[in-house]
Amino acid sequence: MHNLNRRQFLQYSSAVGAAIGTGGFAGIANAQEVLKMGVVYVSPIAEIGWTKQHSLAVDAVKAELGDKVEITVIDNIFMPQDAERVFRELAASGNRLIFGTSFSHGTPLQKVAPRFPKVAFEHCSGIVHLPNLGTFEAKYYEGCYVAGAAGAHMSKTGKIGFIGGFPIPDIVGPANALLLGAQSVNPDITCNALFLNSWFDPGKEKEAANTLVSQGCDVICSMTDTATGVQVAGEKGAWSIGYASDMSKFGSGKQLTAFTLDWSSDYLRAAKGVLEGNWKPEVRWDGLAAGVVKMAPYNEAIPADVIAKLKQLEADIGSGKVHPYAGELKDQDGNVKVPAGAVLADADIRGMNWFVKGMIGKLS
Amino acid sequence: MRFRIEQRTEPSASMRVAAPVVATVLTLLVGSAMFAVLGYDPLSTLQAFFIAPLNSMNGLSELLLKASPLILIGCGLAVGFRANVWNIGAEGQLIIGAIAACGVGLFYPDPESPLLLPLMVLAGACAGMLWAAIPAFLRARMNTNEILVTLMLTYIATLFLSWLVHGPWRDPAGFNYPQTALLPAAAMFEPFDYSYRLNPSIFITGVAVLVMWLFTDRSFLGYKMSVGGAAPLAARYAGFRESAAVWTGLLAGGAAAGIAGMAELSGPLGQLSPQISPGYGFAAIIVAFIGRLNAFGIVLGGLLMSLLFLGGETVQLTLGLSSSLTRVFQGILLFFLLAADFFIFYRIRLIPEHA
């Protein structure tokens, strides 16, 4: 299965490479005109969360490009049936750059993009690329690894709790990285993981967080689209780790840090590319080094020398000196998945569907 | 002076015609006031809501594409609703129908067979009926409340789908993401024109509307079911079996929802993922009631719901109106439509104080 994935990954990559090699994207070079740009959000813009971070990137485009862009935003589009109609509508009404911001937008984008070859499409968290469909994604696991190290420094029980929206690779991988980061500080630490099968279910998430705390976890990290995990942890006196946005104001002073997402560079690069006529469908996958993943300010309760270590860890991951998935990596049952001295291949990171040793919980 | 609400001796025929008109006028007034207060020009907002989505061939195609499952399921549900059989689990029956159809589409030995599509329709219908047969059996044999059973089975269907796409049916080439492989071309309805998305599954809905009309207005069983719904004691006295109504009502709803699931799968979706329906099974309940449980009323109800949805997107795209506001507006319209029905059966009388 992993070999197949790697092969697929290479196929996609080489297809994009070929597209770039054959002169890239020459369809839409017109510098005079205002760039009409459409963005489709998966949920309404809230105070924090996934869509909020995308809206901040859109604001960054507005701030930098001003009246050179005219941006149409439509929110709360999750279902593929609806997404396809909206993408088509945006493309037909003259938008030359269109963003999809959810994995569920992928199949619709793949259907619409070939029908509008002169429109540039960008898909956040996508896996399939076409001559006019590029993707961008964050290396969540880099931030998660640092957050895990912070958690291990502060945990007294040696147990971390993780709440995930769905058991998909985008979440399973970071959950593993959280524990691996923690184990880099304390090799005996474990992580209890629960999945909600929903991105937004504060009731269920509250229950999950309570369960984890009662199991003895004193650091809670929640990868959903709410601040509930951070909030419940704070109320129960446990440390918390925020995701997507800085959630410190929900955490009763107990948020250790958050691994936040900043897509500005991805949006700006695409918008400038289309404006200047040199947009290409890229496969962008950035983390701490490019600033797509950023650590929120560390909690003042963390000792200064630990904060210095964490900042050094950020820098080392950014420079490639430390790789979160460096061997030796074993799965839950103790089978060696990555031998010592090697690192997990990119395609295997993007398709990660197994838990590392020390994770407690099931993936189904 | 006091007001008193009185039941009419007979439903008012004139109010039956006037109620939707009154509801529309009230919606337009209240909606315009809301848009004006928020600083949007009421006329252009209403134009964007109700006219703009229909201005193009693509708009019409999208309107029908979205209305089709609502009408299909609404017709199936109304058969039961007329007999007081409350199937509110069409969403689950839709999901099971889509799963069965997808199973046929993915695993049928000959992926190019012209038989594939008809087999999938059959699989969808049978699976939907099977799912609805559980509450039917429990209600007919043990008098279990079908409202609860159908609703609970929706959650089971959702989780079953989730298990399939996270587990055994996951696309081996999909980076472990929870979705199945795309169906082969022969398992998909071919759009009438590749510029649009409307496909021949709309004919299935058309046939369903006709069958529903013939059944409710022209068949003896349909008549017996209506009597059972309106006057259960009279129906029992006349010797009409309640269990026949329960089975017919639930199986009709299940079959319609199952086919609708198949049509979504072989139409706009092309694959299964953890969530496949934007709530069609629940929205169809509203559609059935807007249509007053009448086949042609349901067609209008389905078109209206679909238009409200598309209009909501258009005002967001063209005027930047927030999606929450459009949902408030949709709520106002549905509220007035259903509330106006009150005046068909009741009237308000003014009573002088000294009388």
Q: Does the pLDDT value for residue B201 go beyond 90?
A: yes
Pairing of strands A120-124, A97-100: parallel
Chosen for mutation from B55, B169, B317 (greatest number of chain A CBs closer than 10 Å) is: B317
Distance CA B6, CA B343 (A): 10
Q: Do residues A129 and A211 share a domain?
A: no
Q: Does the pLDDT value for residue A118 go beyond 90?
A: yes
The tally of domains found in chain A comes to: 2
Q: Do residues A131 and A186 share a domain?
A: no
Condensed to tens digits (0 to 9), the pLDDT of residues B229-264 reads: 888 888 888 888 888 999 999 999 999 999 999 999
Q: Does the pLDDT value for residue A2 go beyond 50?
A: no
Q: Indicate the helix (H) or strand (E) that contains B246.
A: helix B242-264
Chain B residue with minimum CA distance to A85: B62
Which is more confident, B108 or A2?
B108
Q: Does the pLDDT value for residue A8 go beyond 50?
A: no
Per the structure, the complete domain to which residue A7 belongs is given by: 2-139+263-286
Q: Which residues of A touch B278 (CB under 8 A)?
A: 79, 81-82
Q: Do residues A222 and A348 share a domain?
A: yes
Q: Do residues A144 and A96 share a domain?
A: no
Instruction: Please check whether residue B310 is in contact with residue B328, taking contact to mean a CB–CB distance below 8 angstroms.
Output: no
Nearest-neighbour CA in chain B from A303: distance (Å): 40
Q: Does the pLDDT value for residue B354 go beyond 70?
A: no
User: Cis peptide leading into A33, omega within 30 of 0?
Assistant: no
Q: Does the pLDDT value for residue A191 go beyond 80?
A: yes
Q: Do residues A75 and A217 share a domain?
A: no
Burial zone of B184 (CB within 10 Å; 0-12 exposed, 13-18 middle, 19+ buried): middle
What's A69's domain CATH number? 3.40.50.2300
Q: Do residues A333 and A213 share a domain?
A: yes
Q: What is the complex's ipTM, to 2 decimals?
A: 0.83
Could you say which residues from 153 to 182 on chain B have a Cβ atom under 8 Å away from some Cβ of chain A?
A: 159, 162-163, 166-167, 172-179, 182
pLDDT (0 to 100) of residue A143: 97
Condensed to tens digits (0 to 9), the pLDDT of residues A314-356 reads: 999 999 999 999 989 999 999 999 999 999 999 899 989 999 9
The average confidence (pLDDT) of chain A is 90
Which of A286, A320, A346 lies at the terminal end of a domain, its last residue?
A286
pLDDT (0 to 100) of residue B348: 84
pLDDT (0 to 100) of residue A290: 96
Question: Among A72-86, B10-24, B279-293, where is mean pLDDT lowest?
Answer: B10-24
Q: Does the pLDDT value for residue A38 go beyond 90?
A: yes
The partner residues of B237 in beta bridges, in order of sequence, read none
Output the pTM of the full model: 0.86
Instruction: Please check whether residue B97 is in contact with residue B127, taking contact to mean a CB–CB distance below 8 angstroms.
Output: yes
pLDDT (0 to 100) of residue A14: 43
Residue contacts between A and B (CB atoms, under 8 Å): 88
Distance CA A185, CA A180 (A): 9
Q: Do residues A252 and A282 share a domain?
A: no
C-alpha distances in Å from residue A225, one per residue of A50, A163, A293, B163 = 6, 11, 16, 22
pLDDT (0 to 100) of residue A364: 62
A39 — contact with chain B (CB < 8 Å)? Answer: no
pLDDT (0 to 100) of residue A32: 59
Task: Single out the residue of B76, B74, B83 nearest to residue B132, CA to CA.
Answer: B76
Condensed to tens digits (0 to 9), the pLDDT of residues B70-120 reads: 999 999 999 999 999 999 999 999 999 999 999 999 999 999 999 999 999
A75 — contact with chain B (CB < 8 Å)? Answer: yes
Q: Which of B159, B195, B313 is nearest residue A86 as measured by Cβ atoms? A: B313
Q: Do residues A156 and A114 share a domain?
A: no
Q: Does the pLDDT value for residue A18 go beyond 80?
A: no
Percent of chain A with pLDDT over 90: 83
Q: Do residues A182 and A131 share a domain?
A: no
Percent of chain B with pLDDT over 70: 99
* Residues in Cβ contact with A253 at an 8 Å cutoff, skipping those fewer than 6 apart: A234, A299, A301
Question: Among A118-132, B166-180, B245-259, where is mean pLDDT lowest?
Answer: B166-180
A198 — contact with chain B (CB < 8 Å)? Answer: no
Distance CA B176, CA A172 (A): 11
